[in-house]
Each structure stands twice: as C-alpha cells, then as structure tokens.
C-alpha cells in the first residue's frame, strides 16, 4: 500500500509542469524515504532527477517499494482537474497496475478521485557519482529563465563562462552575439535575489539552449536556481522544492567546436 498526501495540489502541478516537457513518461520510485524519479529525455542528452522526501508530505506511507510508471501527459491532465488549494493524495496498492489520485477541497466538500493506469517502463537508471564541482552558481530562478530565453534567440547553444568575477552567458549566431554577465551581488539583503558564486577554478562550457529552456519550466517551484559546473561533466541545474525536496536537471555539454 502506498499513500502520499500533499497539502497543496499546486506543488504537484508545478512539478509535473517542470518535467513533462522533457519526459513523456517516467517511473516514480516510491520507498519509505520518499518518491524519486530519474529519467533521461528521449535523446539522452538531459536527465531529470526528482526527489520528494517523505517527511515533506502531510502523510506518507509506503509499505513496499513501488515503481509506478506513468505517462506524464496523462498525469498532467489529471492534475489539471485539481484546484490549487486542494489536498492531493496519491494511492496505489502494492501490486496494482493503477494509481489513484484524489483531490479534496479544503473544506472536504468536494472529493474527486482519478484512477490512472500505470505502465511498465523499461528505463535505464543512471548512477550519478558525487562530484566536486569547480563552480557553483546560485542565482534567481527568474533571472536564469530570462537569460535562457533571451539567448536562445541568438543561437541554439549558449556558452557559460564562470570566473571569479561573475558568470557570463554568451551566444552567437547569424544575428550577432549576445553576452549577459552577472556579477556576485554584494548585499545579502534579499536572499532570493542574490547571485552567489563558489568557484574552485574557472570553467567554460557550452550547452544547448533548448534544454536549458526546458529546465526553466521548473522556475515556479523555486526562487533560486543553482548551477553546478565542472569541466567535461554535465551541468546540474537544481531547483529546490521548499520543504519537500528538489528537482535536478543534468545536461551534457556540447562538443565544443572552438577550434574548427
């Protein structure tokens, strides 16, 4: 028996919005420590890793480890049926091939439940090693989304160059070139608006804008985004989900063609 209850359906909605562009279907691995999801997109260029800790739920029960393969499109459809303030409960039997998602309005006047068929997905699970990143940049999520959107007009790839001074996003294409530099913010008044850089050594990496734009779909989840970079290692874009966990996107760097 698996049962997980969240106070607000809106979180779940946002989470799904954040992943459904990249993934068509994914397996939710439920254990007593929480729900985890890891999946690569079709092209295997990016990877989504979602962690929802059990203690973040209003109620969480998972007697046996359970893998629920879901069509995320269908799941999103179901979640559209929920009001933002509704309680949402996911339920599944141990060997069931369906999951039940129940929405209860705040005053319990309206209860709707939806049953969705589960899928048996044969997906590769990647072992992600712990990495000491050369650069870790924290910046407002909105800012990052904006940068990605803007730069994607110029080129399909963006170069992220991180130095002690700050982080520079640049793109160059037929139209011309674009550079956006962010310096570390001195004042720590508003934490959510600060830009912080932890750097061991400077890094320059090239990434596909398309994926970065897909990642920024998670912007509503968090005020801050954390970019972790290391030479020849995928970029990690992490959005924290308050009190619940985090969603991490991994993006493989492009093969650089500076010398050609």
Partner 1 sequence: MIMVRRRARPAKETGGGSAAAAVASDGALSMDTAAAVAVAGGNHLLDDQYFASPKRKDCRLMKASENLKISSDVVALEEEANNKGVKPTKALTDRTIGVPLATRSQTRTIENFFKANAAAKCGITLNTHHPEPIKEQKTISTAELPLSDELGDEELERVVGDLLYDGHSTASSDSPSYQHENEHEEVMQDTFALRETSPVPVLMADFQTHRSGLRDSHSSSHSSSSSGGASATTDNIFLQEPVLTLDIDRTPTKASSIKINKSFELASAVFSSPPSVLNACRFNQIVTLNGGGQCEPQPVVVAQPQPQPQLQLQPHHNGFELDQHDSSSCDSGVACSLTISAESPAAGGGAGAAARRRKPATPHRILCPSPIKTLPRGDGGGLIVPGARKTSGIMMKGDLLSPRKSPRKLPTTTAAVAACKSRRRLNQPKPQAPYQPQQPQPPPGTQPTNEDVVVIDDDEDDDDQEEDEGEEDEDDVHALLKAAEELENLNKIPIANSNKSNNHVKAMLKPAPAKPRAALTKGGSKTKTGSKIQPGPLPLAATNGNREMTDFFPVRRSVRKTKTAVKEEWLRNLEQAVLEERSEGLQVRNFMGKGRGVVAVRHFKRNEFVVEYVGDLISISDATDRERRYALDENAGCYMYYFKHKNQQYCIDATVDTGKLGRLINHSRAGNLMTKVVVIKQRPHLVLLAKDDIAPGEELTYDYGDRSKESLLHHPWLAF
Q: Is 55 exposed, middle or buried (0-12, 13-18, 19+ CB in 10 A)?
A: exposed
Q: Which CB atom, from 189 or from 232, has the smaller least distance to partner 1? A: 232
Residue 174 is a binding residue for partner 1 (CB under 8 A) = no
Question: Per CB under 8 A, does 226 bind partner 1?
Answer: no
Q: Provide the minimum distance between the beta carbon of 252 and partner 1 in the complex, in angstroms, as a whole number.
A: 4
Binding flag, residue 233, partner 1 (CB under 8 A) = yes
The CA distance from 190 to 182, in Å, is 16
Residue 255 sits in the site that holds partner 1 (CB under 8 A): yes
Task: Please tell me whether residue 69 binds partner 1 under the rule CB under 8 A.
Answer: no
User: What is the distance between the alpha carbons of residues 131 and 230, in angstroms, rounded to a whole number?
Assistant: 9
Q: How far apart are CA 57 and CA 60, in angstroms?
A: 6
For the bound state, the minimum distance from the C-beta of residue 24 to partner 1, rounded and expressed in Å, comes to 13
The strands making up 224-230's β-sheet, listed across from edge to edge, are: 66-71, 25-31, 34-40, 46-53, 245-251, 233-241, 224-230, 135-140, 196-199
Residue 115, helix vs strand vs coil: strand
* Site residues (CB under 8 A) for partner 1, limited to 22-61: 40, 42-47
Binding marks (x or -) toward partner 1, 123..162, rule CB under 8 A? -xxxxxx--------------------------xx-----
By CB under 8 A, residue 256 contacts partner 1? yes
Binding residues for partner 1 (CB under 8 A): 40, 42-47, 124-129, 156-157, 208, 210, 231-234, 250, 252-257, 259-260
């Amino acid at each position: 028996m698996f049962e997980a209850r969240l106070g607000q359906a809106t979180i779940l909605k946002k989470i799904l919005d954040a992943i459904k562009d990249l993934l068509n279907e994914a397996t939710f691995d439920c254990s007593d420590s929480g729900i985890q999801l890891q999946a690569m997109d079709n092209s295997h260029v990016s990877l989504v890793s979602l962690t929802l800790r059990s203690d973040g739920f209003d109620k969480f029960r998972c007697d046996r480890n359970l893998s629920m393969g879901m069509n995320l499109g269908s799941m999103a459809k179901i979640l559209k049926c929920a009001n933002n303030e509704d309680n949402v409960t996911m339920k599944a039997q141990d060997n069931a091939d369906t999951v039940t998602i129940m929405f209860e309005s705040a005053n319990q006047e309206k209860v709707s439940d939806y049953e969705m068929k589960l899928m048996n997905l044969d997906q590769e699970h990647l072992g992600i090693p712990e990495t000491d990143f050369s650069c870790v940049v924290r910046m407002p999520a909105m800012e990052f989304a904006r940068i990605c959107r803007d730069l994607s007009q110029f080129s399909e790839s963006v170069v992220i160059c991180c130095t002690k001074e700050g982080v520079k996003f640049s793109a160059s294409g037929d139209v011309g070139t674009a550079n956006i530099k962010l310096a570390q913010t001195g004042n720590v008044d508003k934490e959510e608006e600060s830009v912080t850089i932890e750097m061991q050594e400077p890094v320059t990496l090239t990434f596909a804008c398309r994926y970065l734009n897909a990642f920024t779909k998670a912007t509503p989840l968090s005020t801050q985004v954390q970019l972790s970079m290391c030479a020849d290692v995928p970029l990690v874009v992490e959005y924290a989900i308050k009190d619940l966990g985090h969603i991490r996107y991994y993006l493989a760097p492009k093969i650089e063609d500076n010398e050609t």
